Amino acid sequence: MEKVDLKSMDVAALQGEITQLKKELFNLRMGMMTAQVKDTSHIGKVKVRIAQAMTFLNQKKNSSK
């Protein structure tokens, strides 16, 4: 998903996306502990996506006030 896609989402969709990304991050961390994850750079990419989604969510919440 691109940054443009995140920007066009509404608040509820962004919250759902953040929840999904946090679950993915959890699963990647568990996979690291059991040596199932080969591409460790994916964890950093997921963290960046979470930060981007949270930024857009906060922008939308603050602009509605």
Centre a 10 Å sphere on the Cβ of residue 47 and count the other Cβ atoms it contains.
14
- Read off the pTM: 0.87
What is the chain's percent helix, strand, coil content, to nearest 5? 80, 0, 20
Instruction: List CB contacts of 49: < 8 A, sequence separation 6 or more.
Output: 1, 21
39 pLDDT band, cuts 50/70/90, is confident
Distance CA 56, CA 53 (A): 5
Residue 38, pLDDT score? 84
